[in-house]
Chain A
Amino acid sequence: MALRDNAVVGYAETKIVERSAVDVWELGAEVMESLLEQTGFEKSEIDGLILSSSMTGAGNAFWSQTTADYLGLELDFSQTVDIGGCSPLGALARGCAAIDAGLATTILLLYADTQVAEQNARPRGYQGEWLSTNGLLGPPGAFGLLSRRYEHLYGLDYTALAKLAVAQRGHAVLNDNACEKLRKPITVDDYMNSRMISEPIRLLDCVMVTDGASGLLLTSRKRAKEKGFAKFVVPLGYGERTNFRWNEAVVDITESGHSVAAKKAFAQAGVAPKDIGSFHPYDDFIIANMLQMEMLGFCGRGQGQAFIKEHDFTHTGDLPLNTSGGQISAGQPGLAGGGVNVVECVRQLMGGGGKRQVKNTRYGAVTGIGGIPYGRNWASSNVMILTPDA
C-alpha cells in the first residue's frame, strides 16, 4: 500500500460567511450530508474521522470524539490534527496512512471552524511572554517583518503581489461559496492604495477570518474502483516539515520548510513544477504565494516577482492560482481555512470547476502553512501533488 493507493471520492463545502448563525456541528453535518449524497456512500460505511484544527473546537480536549457523537458516527479511527493551517492537507495525508495501515477503510475528513462566532482557543505559547510586550500585531506583524527582510535581500515590487491579489479576487467573483463581502473585483491600484496595517503589509495582503466548513471523503483506490466511481482524485506525493532549521538561532526567513517538503512531494509523485496544471497554495498573506512559488521550485529564490510578471494566474491562464479565490478572497474559516485550497484543487481535478474550470487537470498542487513562530516565517509547511484517476 502507498499514498497513491488512496482515492478522494467526494468534496464538499459550505458557504463561507462573516459570522456563522449556526453551530459548527451543523456546518459539519452539512458537509457530511453533501458528501454522502454526492458519493452514494452510506453513513455506516464511514469508519474513520479526521478533523482539522478548529478555534471553536480548541476548548474541547475530546474534539474528534465529541464531533463523531454529534454526527452519529461509529468509528474505528478518530483524531484531530493540530498543525494549524497545515491540518486540512495534513488530515488527508494522515487519512491515507490510516487506510494503508488498515486502521480504517473510509474516512470523513472534516474541516470546520466558526472562529468568528465562537473562539474557544486559549493560546499557550511564546506570545504572552515574548510578544505581548512589544505590540507586534500577530500574523500581519510577522509577515511585515518577513516582507521587509525579503525586500532587503531581493528588492520587492509590490505591483507583482498586486497582480496575484487581483487574480484571486477575480476567482472569488466566480465562486458562489466565497464570502459575499469579498466578491467584488479589485484593481492593482486598489491593492497599492489599501491602508497599511503593519508596514509593508497592507489590508489587501491579509486574509479575513470567517466561518465555514469543508471536507473530503477518502477511501482506498481499490474500493473506489469496486464502487464504480467515474472519477476520483489520487494523492501522488506528500511532504511535511515542522520547525524547519529549528536548531539554528538565526535563519534566512525567506526560506521555509516547503523547500524540503516540496522536494519530497515532487519526487514521490514523479512530476516537476512545470507539470502542475493548477496551484493552490495556502494564502494567509499574498506574499506567501510568491514565497511558495520559490520554495516549490516554480522559480528560483528571489525570482518570484519576475515569475509573477511572466505568468497568468487566472483560471484561463498558464498557471491558475487558487481558483476559488483562495482564503484571501473567499475568506479564511479559521483553522479550517486550508480546506479552501485543498477542496478547490480536488474540485478542479474532478472537473467540477464550472465557470472557473481550468483546462489542464493532469496534476494539481496544494500546500499548507501552519503556525506563526517567534522571529521566523511559519512553524509547519506541507505540500501535496494530486491527479485525477478513473
Chain B
Amino acid sequence: MSEMVRDTLDVAREAPQPRSFSRPYWEATREKKILIQYDPKVGRYQFFPRPASIYTGSRAMEWREVSGKGEVFSYTLARRGRGPFQGKEPYLVATVTLDVGVNVIANLVHVAMDEVRIGMKVKPFWAPLPNGMNLLMFEPDR
C-alpha cells in the first residue's frame, strides 16, 4: 500500500501580508478565484505578482481570471517541516505549471505517493485562511 501523504489542512497557517501590487490576487481568493497578472503587450502571464511586467517592464498590466488547471512540473515530499508544519510531515509541495504558462508552488493534496508524478494533471483545491482569504492548493484532476 502506498505511503499516506498528509494534507496539512490542520496546519495553523497565518494569513499572508499582501504587497501593494499583489493585493488583487489575495482579495480574489476570498471568492476562490485565481487572478494572474497578464501583460497585454506580449500576451503572456506572470507569477508571482510583481510591480512591473517581467517581459516589457510595463506597469500597464491586467489581472485575468484563470481556471487554475495545470500539471505537475516537479514535487518534493517534505519529511521535515518548520514552524507550524513541524509534526505535520510527510506532506507534498509541488511546482505546478498552469495552463496559461506560469509556475505556482503549492501543496498537493488528496494524492498517494505512488500516484504522484511529473506531468500529472491537477486542479485547484482551496484551503481556508484565518482572515477569510483562501490558500490555493492542488489535487489530482482525475
Cα of A148 to Cα of B76 in the assembled complex, Å: 7
- Contact (Cβ within 8 A) B95 A137: no
A137-B80 contact, Cβ under 8 Å, with A246-B54, A250-B73: yes
What is the 8 Å Cβ interface bit string for chain A, positions 214-240, against chain B (1 contact, 0 not)?
A: 000000000000000000000000000
- Contact (Cβ within 8 A) B79 A196: yes
Cα of A196 to Cα of B135 in the assembled complex, Å: 27
A130-B48 contact, Cβ under 8 Å, with A136-B76, A250-B73, A375-B103: yes
In the complex, whether A303 has a CB less than 8 A from a CB of chain B is no
Give the residue name and chain of the A residue nearest to B105 (CB): A375
Interface residues of A in 127-150 (CB under 8 A from B): 128-138, 140-141, 144-149
- Contact (Cβ within 8 A) B95 A375: yes
A135-B79 contact, Cβ under 8 Å, with A145-B74, A250-B97: no
What is the 8 Å Cβ interface bit string for chain B, positions 101-129, against chain A (1 contact, 0 not)?
A: 11111110000000000100000000001
Interface size on A, residues (CB 8 A): 36
In the complex, whether A374 has a CB less than 8 A from a CB of chain B is yes
Min Cβ gap B46→A in Å is: 5
In the complex, whether A309 has a CB less than 8 A from a CB of chain B is no
- Contact (Cβ within 8 A) A128 B77: no
Give the residue name and chain of the A residue nearest to B77 (CB): A199
In the complex, whether A61 has a CB less than 8 A from a CB of chain B is no
- Contact (Cβ within 8 A) B48 A197: no
In the complex, whether A44 has a CB less than 8 A from a CB of chain B is no
- Contact (Cβ within 8 A) A135 B54: no
A195: chain B residues within 8 A (beta carbon)? 79
- Contact (Cβ within 8 A) A145 B95: yes
Min Cβ gap A6→B in Å is: 36
Give the residue name and chain of the A residue nearest to B55 (CB): A247
- Contact (Cβ within 8 A) A198 B73: no
What 6 A-B pairs have minimum CB-CB distances, sorted nearest first? A144-B76, A135-B85, A199-B77, A149-B74, A152-B118, A145-B74
Q: Which residues of A contact B (CB under 8 A)?
A: 126, 128-138, 140-141, 144-149, 152, 195-201, 246-250, 253, 374-375
Q: Which residues of B contact A (CB under 8 A)?
A: 8, 11, 13-14, 16-19, 22, 44-48, 54-55, 73-85, 88, 91, 93, 95, 97, 101-107, 118, 129, 135, 137
